[in-house]
Amino acid sequence: MMDFSQIVPALPALADGMVLTLKLLAMSVAGGVVLGTLLALARLSSLPLLSGLAKFYVNYFRSIPLLLVISWFYLVVPLIYTWLTGSFEPVGAFTSCLVAFVMFEAAYFSEIVRAGIQSIPKGQVNAGYALGMRYDQVMRLIVLPQAFRKMTPLLLQQSIILFQDTSLVYAVGLLDFLNAARSKGDIVGLPHEFLIFAGAVYFVISMGATQLVKRLQKRFAV
């Protein structure tokens, strides 16, 4: 017989795990969208070197597993931090993971942003220039606001995937929601119950968010 009653006393610890998951998610999405937007602009630049570098970056990170990036940054980020600042203060696993997610997700977000920018008619760009705007103003005031509106459903979809992928931080020992559930389950000797519960929570959140995206898609389609 399954015994789910032991989950109740473990809820505070699980909630801590969920907070870490959501914090990592929110910061990764924010950083990934910013870096992804810069990559998209570089990729669309008329300077061959800049667009070549951006293209290489995107293709590189889309060709390697996220787990590898996480493990690799866990080792490398502290070294770079020491090299940059000269300080040997230890860099936490959270920071390493955040850097890994931002850099990895930026590759995916940049492809979404690039498609979004390209979907804005050239006439809008010309209208901005004709009014005397500079490149950065045309992008910031005219193109990106329209592009982001169109892209919101896709960006959310990618964020839902990232929500699930944050569980990979178990590899470097971070106590995210899944890892918290697993370790708690092991401690009380009910691993199956805790994993089933964790699965249900991921399912409800992801499905809820997906429904939201579908609704947004309908609204933005008008």
User: Which tokens hold the place of 28?
Assistant: 């990764």
Using CB under 8 A as the binding rule, whether residue 142 contacts another protein is answered as yes
* Out of 62, 134, 192, 218, the residue judged to bind another protein by CB under 8 A: 134
Part in contact with another protein (CB under 8 A); list of ranges 48-56, 132-140, 156-164, 200-208: 132-140
Using CB under 8 A as the binding rule, whether residue 94 contacts another protein is answered as no
> Contact, 7 vs 197, CB < 8 A?
yes
Using CB under 8 A as the binding rule, whether residue 47 contacts another protein is answered as no
Cβ atoms within 10 Å, residue 17 = 23
- What is the distance of C-alpha 144 from the center of its chain? 19
Cα dihedral: 65, 69, 75, 81 (round 10): 170
Cα dihedral: 61, 63, 68, 74 (round 10): -10
Q: Which residue has the tokens 């209208």?
A: 127
Using CB under 8 A as the binding rule, whether residue 145 contacts another protein is answered as yes
CA angle 61, 66, 72 (to 5 degrees): 85
Residue number, 24 or 143, with CB nearest to another protein:
143
Return phi, psi of residue 166, to 5°.
-60, -20
Using CB under 8 A as the binding rule, whether residue 45 contacts another protein is answered as no
Nearest approach in angstroms of CB 135 to another protein is 9
Nearest approach in angstroms of CB 46 to another protein is 11
Stretch (H or E) spanning 205: helix 191-221
Judged by CB under 8 A, the chain residues 102 through 131 that form the site for another protein are: 121, 123-124, 126-131
Using CB under 8 A as the binding rule, whether residue 161 contacts another protein is answered as no
Residue number, 93 or 142, with CB nearest to another protein:
142
DSSP 179-193: HHHHHHHHHHT-HHH
> Contact, 95 vs 24, CB < 8 A?
no
* Out of 12, 48, 86, 132, the residue judged to bind another protein by CB under 8 A: 132
Residue number, 129 or 170, with CB nearest to another protein:
129
Using CB under 8 A as the binding rule, whether residue 149 contacts another protein is answered as yes
Nearest approach in angstroms of CB 110 to another protein is 22
Using CB under 8 A as the binding rule, whether residue 51 contacts another protein is answered as no
List residues near another protein by CB under 8 A.
Answer: 121, 123-124, 126-134, 137, 141-142, 145-146, 149
